């Protein structure tokens, strides 16, 4: 089953992304007010979903479980680390696509808007996590500090989510649902949006899996190097 998932995850992700591109660029109509610019709605919210909720959510759960003595394991630390790395990429893509949409709509690449600013702060927090992990060589210390840091950084996620409601600055409110769960997008546009969310969620899973395997291999190589050095020392002792 695991091997099947490994083999299929990549191709399925690519197909889902291709379907999103096809639906978004050729099947869906342009918006009445925004024209073709509205097609960014099939990319930007899905990227934000992965950046804020999937990546940070995964890292937060893995970190909380790592700190719990009964569930503590190296696997959880690696998952948190990899999820945060993926998060940095997706936060950057979210900000870039938002900026591309903002220039023609608001007239500026960047606005001091509550949603934009809080997302940028979240991106810097994620970068801080990567810097923090590089600051120490002790795997145990690195994992513990990283886990605490993720839990602290996660406080910012609800701030980003509710920023459009709390401060009512330039960024519009929720794009898909109203506050009372009323759907704002219909027909083929809604289906394309749904496909984009699935496609980018799969992309997250694929990247996370690939990054995790790389990290696990790196750990194995480091262990092997230490083991070989110890063997050499033992042999020197025997000789």
**Residues at the site binding other proteins, with contacts judged by CB under 8 A:** 67, 117-118, 121-122, 124-125, 127-129, 131-132, 135-136, 138, 140-141, 144-145, 147-149, 151-153, 155-156, 159
- Catalogue the E-assigned strands of 17-73: none
Q: Which is nearer to other proteins, 134 or 182 (CB)?
A: 134
Q: Which is nearer to other proteins, 98 or 123 (CB)?
A: 123
Half-sphere exposure of 18 (CA within 13 A, CB side): 6
| Smallest separation (angstroms) from other proteins to the CB of 110 | 16
| Smallest separation (angstroms) from other proteins to the CB of 140 | 7
Burial string for 165-180 (b: 16+ CB within 10 Å, else e) reads: eeeeebbeeeeeeeee
| Smallest separation (angstroms) from other proteins to the CB of 49 | 21
Q: How many CB atoms lie within 10 A of CB 217?
A: 10
| Smallest separation (angstroms) from other proteins to the CB of 91 | 12
Q: Which is nearer to other proteins, 132 or 198 (CB)?
A: 132
Q: How many CB atoms lie within 10 A of CB 122?
A: 24
| Smallest separation (angstroms) from other proteins to the CB of 100 | 24
58 phi and psi angles, rounded to 5 deg: -60, -45
Q: Which is nearer to other proteins, 15 or 152 (CB)?
A: 152
> In this structure, are residues 216 and 78 in contact, taking their beta carbons and an 8 Å threshold?
yes
Residue 181 falls in which region: left (phi positive, over 0), alpha (psi -120 to 50) or beta: left
Q: Which is nearer to other proteins, 68 or 109 (CB)?
A: 68
């Amino acid at each position: 089953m695991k091997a099947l998932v490994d083999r299929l995850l990549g191709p399925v992700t690519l197909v889902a992304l291709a379907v999103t591109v096809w639906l978004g660029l050729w099947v869906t109509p342009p918006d009445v007010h925004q024209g073709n610019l509205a097609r960014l709605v099939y990319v930007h919210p899905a990227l934000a979903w992965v950046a804020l909720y999937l990546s940070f959510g995964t890292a937060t759960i893995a970190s909380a479980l790592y700190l719990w003595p009964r569930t503590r394991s190296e696997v959880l630390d690696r998952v948190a680390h990899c999820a945060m790395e993926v998060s940095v990429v997706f936060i950057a893509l979210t900000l870039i696509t938002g900026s591309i949409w903002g220039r023609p709509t608001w007239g500026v690449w960047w606005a001091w808007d509550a949603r934009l600013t809080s997302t940028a702060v979240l991106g810097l927090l994620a970068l801080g996590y990567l810097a923090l992990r590089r600051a120490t060589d002790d795997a145990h210390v690195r994992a513990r500090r990283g886990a605490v840091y993720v839990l602290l950084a996660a406080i910012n996620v609800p701030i980003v989510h509710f920023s459009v409601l709390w401060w009512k600055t330039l960024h519009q409110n929720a794009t898909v649902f109203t506050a009372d769960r009323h759907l704002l997008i219909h027909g083929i546009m809604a289906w394309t949006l749904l496909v984009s969310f699935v496609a980018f969620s799969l992309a997250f899973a694929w990247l996370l899996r690939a990054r995790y395997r790389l990290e696990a291999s790196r750990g194995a190589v480091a262990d092997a190097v230490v083991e070989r050095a110890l063997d050499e020392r033992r042999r020197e002792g025997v000789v």
